[in-house]
Amino acid sequence: DAKTTQPTSMDCAEGRAANLPCNHSTISGNEYVYWYRQIHSQGPQYIIHGLKNNETNEMASLIITEDRKSSTLILPHATLRDTAVYYCIAYASNFGNEKLTFGTGTRLTIIP
Amino acid sequence: GAVVSQHPSWVICKSGTSVKIECRSLDFQATTMFWYRQFPKQSLMLMATSNEGSKATYEQGVEKDKFLINHASLTLSTLTVTSAHPEDSSFYICSARDPSLSGEQYFGPGTRLTVT
């Protein structure tokens, strides 16, 4: 899996959009960008994934640059329950390598 | 999304004893499950990949005779920590991949193991 780089921590005011960046400059053509988050003392929660097109679901939006070397996860209206560690992972899920490799992630704190 | 459960959610055991942790996929069949370990303030580390009906594949540095994995059915994988020691105290998390979906893995809530 390609290595990803994320800021160690970020703060965001409650109600504002939280934009979490991720660099994956060595991503391969068959690797998707996956985002998970982990709330304290819980298992990781799947958020969203994409290959090259922008994606949106009920939780978040994922913006992937045209060269696929970076992406941004957007939580449109952050709430206190969004405080968690967010992991960006480049992952080739359909080519025999099914291991998710977690980096250190971004610790997002939502401030009241 | 798909639901994965773990049991127990926490366990305290004495040094030298063995502990079994169960991981179940509740609403889908998982041919592959994964076991992770997470120490305080650290990220998740993959321990092994559990395949239904075959032997588990362990990551480098993980002792297969200490961490026994059994994936006897499409909805159940178990991790047994044998002869546990205080350094085995950790947060153990399993995940399962729903083959009917594009590849995302769904995680259990984790099991907190404390060895005294």
Look at residue B54 in the predicted model and tell me its pLDDT.
Answer: 85
Closest CA–CA distance from residue A87 to any residue of chain B (Å) = 9
State whether residue B60 sits within 8 Å of chain A by CB: no
- A110 pLDDT tier (thresholds 50, 70, 90): very high
> Rounded to an integer, what distance in angstroms lies between the CA atom of residue A84 and that of residue A92?
25
Residue A64 carries which side chain, given as an amino acid letter? I
Predicted local confidence at residue A79, as pLDDT:
97
Compare CB distances from A42 to B49, B103, B110 and report the shortest one's residue. B110
Q: Which residues of A touch B108 (CB under 8 A)?
A: 43
**Per mean pLDDT, which range of A23-32, A48-57, B83-92, B95-104 is the poorest?**
B95-104
| Beta-carbon separation of B91 and A41 below 8 A | yes
- The region, left, alpha or beta by phi > 0 then psi within -120 to 50, assigned to residue A76 is alpha
* Interface-testing mutation among B25, B44, B95, with chain A (most A C-beta atoms within 10 A): B44
Rg, chain A, Cα only: 13
Give the pLDDT band (50/70/90) at residue A93.
low
CB contact under 8 A, A43 and B34: no
Q: What is the mean pLDDT of residues A85-100?
A: 78
Share of chain A above pLDDT 90, in %: 81
Are residues B54 and B32 in contact, defined by beta-carbon separation less than 8 angstroms?
Answer: no
pLDDT reported for residue B22: 97
Q: What percent of chain A has pLDDT over 70?
A: 93
User: Are A91 and A34 in contact, with CB atoms under 8 Å apart?
Assistant: yes
**In this complex, do B102 and A94 lie within 8 Å of one another by their Cβ atoms?**
yes
The CA distance from B16 to the nearest CA of chain A, in Å, is: 26
Residue among A44, A87, A94 minimizing CB distance to B103: A94
List, as ranges, residues 16-45 from A with C-beta within 8 Å of B: 32, 34, 36, 38, 41-45
A30-44, A88-102, B34-48, B102-116 — which is least confidently predicted?
A: A88-102
Is residue A18 within 8 A of residue A37, CB to CB? The reply is no
If you measure CA to CA, which chain A residue comes closest to B9? A42
Contacts of A107 (CB under 8 A, 6+ apart): A8, A9, A10, A84, A85, A86
Cβ contact, residue pair B107, A45, below 8 Å:
yes
Question: Is B43–A46 a contact, with Cβ atoms under 8 angstroms apart?
Answer: no
Chain segment B60-107, per-residue pLDDT in tens: 999 999 999 998 888 999 999 999 999 999 999 999 987 776 667 899
pLDDT at A62 over 90: yes
pLDDT tens string B3-56: 999 999 999 999 999 999 999 999 888 888 999 999 998 999 999 998 888 889
